[in-house]
Structure 1
Amino acid sequence: MTEHTDFALPQPESLGRVAVLMGGVSAERAVSLRSGQAVTEALCEAGVAAEAVDVQTVEQVVAMTRRFDRAFVALHGRWGEDGGVQAILDALDFPYTGSRMAASALSMDKIRTKWLWQGMGLPTPAFQSVSATQSLDRISWPDHFPLIIKPSHEGSSIGMHKVDSADQLPQAVEAAQALDSEILLEQWVTGREFTAAVVGDRVLPLIELKTDHVFYDYTAKYESTTTEYLCPVDLSPGLVKKLDALVYQAFEAVGGRHWGRVDFMLDAQQNPWLIEVNTAPGMTDHSLVPMAARQAGLSFSQLVCHLLGLTLEHGGPDTKAEGG
């Protein structure tokens, strides 16, 4: 592992009082609580005056801004990662980590992210969408299976199903529709699965994911003891350089800020296929961004402090914070 050399670490006192926003109201609430607790502990370990704050209402977010100087957003899923909380914080001109409202909303929408990438000529698997106005029986899909069925606005692989034949499609779509009104039908890519963390203007070392599950699902992400994470990856330096450039382009395309994660596949011909962007990735003991940061020479505590330091461009502690 290399020593960190160009990740600026702020002085703890320059950050003022920090609220770690966690919990929320999405299907990923349990994961967010774990992320938030880990971030809070790491910040306190670094001497930052940080406190975990479970927010589930607009009123709680507004009240938080009166007590703290900035926020580390450790919310996942709807409302907390899709631009809802970001819109409140933007309206109050309150500094926080991660992407702003528009980029958060776009990245949380898998279908529209893929439309954007497709329009820019970036590689992403072929897809169709099912919605209230575009039902399954009205779309024309080439007879190419398998497919992967995804709720468009969920994360952590929640509600995802692999479909190997047309007769399995209605049931998988119906299951996904229990979670979302818009469903993504995406061409299955057979190959190697990777993720790339973006921190500031850098792409951290790539991670290859290997699982004995059908795909990298919720259980493989958060519960399995057999999932393998390979970092550094077994790819040529030239290919890694090209992949890093593609990842950063994909992140910039959605308007990402501060940090995030881009997931992609490599097929048998080593062609990359962009899958999705996460603007508030997990920060649990199984999480991938901290793993990549360690490979780049940053401890977990240094990583969260660096990310908070990026909010200092917004301004330092001010008169909004109160005691208590």
Structure 2
Amino acid sequence: MNLVIFAGGTSSERDVSLASSAAVYKAMTDAGHSITMIDTASGEFITPETLAQVGTAPPDRIALKKASEKQLAVYSQLIGSDIVKKADAIFLGLHGGIGENGKLQSLLDLANIRYTGSGVLASALAMNKVMSKRVFGSIGVPTPQYLFFKRNESHTKIASRIESDFSFPLIIKPNEEGSTVGLSLVKDRPELTAAIGKAAQYSDILVEEYIEGRELTVAVVGDQALPVIEIIPQSGFYDYEHKYTKGKTQYVCPADIPANVAEDAKRFAKQAFDGINCRGYARIDFRLSLENKLYCLEVNTLPGMTATSLVPKAAKAVGIEFDQLIEKIIQLASAET
């Protein structure tokens, strides 16, 4: 097949996107496909050899903001180019921002170009955590209690409302970011103002009940929910550094949890996948309370494909190697778009 990988982009998850795309490039090249990889921040052709590894912190926010001002124009030029028009499919190796929030998907749909992952509606809903939580509530998928605030609201008023409605610890995070970028685990009142400001740098603000317990995730590929993975970070907090630094986090697959809890997690994952209207593949994240109650946190419509990523780990647990997983994702794009 003649495939084009869209990589990089200008979101805070740019480095992760480049790492995912490099892994996909290698797998598909080894499988004999004709692959072109494009950094969508600039429109330039790239190869894995030109890319650095994911760092322990997100890229500089100011530099990304400047580059993002031209992002839609770059995408429009790419979609109109012969190399994209003649491709059998576009593999979206992007994470976050325009590449995952439905805007790029709408451009590709208008041009009748096949691409991997979910369509416009699911991408937009999943990126907006409050909207996805509302969907979860309507379809019976449990999710932590939450509050939503616009980023330009008074931080003093936000803090006051949080204190009246929640007890510590709690979670504050941007409503439209991934990879725990801008997220804070707030343990007491003195940490509140800084956490609100940190989240507001990126988008509107989501405040969430902290569920003491365990971190779980379930990948869905096609119509199959894969085995549950438990995520055990060294520090007890699964932040950006622990996600993308080898050795910082232990992954157990299948998770050592009661069989009925595992089945519930897979059932809720599939409900969330279908409720958001996902297609192809996605990853659904959960917290498991000390009482073994599940809480759905979010749906990731373009989950990572790096050496430490979770979807490939879950696939491997059922005998699906990385190159086979990528082939399956591409086949689903061809069948569903």
Partner of 1:8: none
What letter matches 2:181 in structure 1? I
Residues 85/279 of structure 1: CA separation in 2 closer, same or farther (3 Å cut): same
Alpha-carbon distance in structure 1 between the residues aligned to 2:25 and 2:178: 22
Whether 2:294 is the aligned partner of 1:272: answer yes
Match for residue 169 of structure 2 among 136, 146, 149 = 146
Partner of 1:219: 241
Partner of 2:13: 28
Partner of 1:61: 79
Q: CA deviation at 1:105?
A: 0.9
Q: Secondary structure at the match of 1:79?
A: helix
Q: Unaligned stretches of 5+ in structure 2?
A: 42-73
1:56-135 matched pairs, under 5 angstroms: 56=41, 57-58=74-75, 59-63=77-81, 64-132=83-151, 134-135=153-154
Partner of 2:58: none
What letter matches 1:266 in structure 2? L
Residues 125/314 of structure 1: CA separation in 2 closer, same or farther (3 Å cut): closer
What letter matches 1:61 in structure 2? I
Q: CA deviation at 1:144?
A: 0.9
Question: What TM-score does the superposition give when structure 2 sets the normalisation length?
Answer: 0.85
Match for residue 247 of structure 1 among 254, 264, 269 = 269
Residues 174/132 of structure 1: CA separation in 2 closer, same or farther (3 Å cut): closer
Q: CA deviation at 1:189?
A: 0.6
What letter matches 2:109 in structure 1? D
Match for residue 168 of structure 1 among 191, 194, 204 = 191
Q: CA deviation at 1:313?
A: 1.9
Q: Unaligned stretches of 5+ in structure 1?
A: 1-15, 316-324
Between the two proteins, what is the percent identity of the paired residues? 37
Asked whether the equivalents of residues 7 and 38 of structure 2 are also in contact (C-alpha less than 8 Å), the reply is yes
Q: Secondary structure at the match of 1:240?
A: helix
Asked whether the equivalents of residues 206 and 231 of structure 1 are also in contact (C-alpha less than 8 Å), the reply is yes
Q: CA deviation at 1:121?
A: 3.2
Residues 277/143 of structure 1: CA separation in 2 closer, same or farther (3 Å cut): closer
The count of corresponding residues between Structure 1 and Structure 2 is: 299
Q: Secondary structure at the match of 1:38?
A: helix
Q: CA deviation at 1:97?
A: 0.8
Question: What TM-score does the superposition give when structure 1 sets the normalisation length?
Answer: 0.88
Asked whether the equivalents of residues 62 and 88 of structure 1 are also in contact (C-alpha less than 8 Å), the reply is no
- Could you list the per-position Cα deviations for residues 234-269 of structure 1 after superposition, in whole angstroms to 9, with x for gaps in the alignment? 123232222211110011111110000000011011
What letter matches 1:101 in structure 2? V
Whether 2:36 is the aligned partner of 1:51: answer yes
Match for residue 183 of structure 1 among 185, 197, 205 = 205
Report the RMSD for the aligned CA atoms in angstroms. 1.6
Q: CA deviation at 1:281?
A: 0.4
Q: CA deviation at 1:314?
A: 5.0
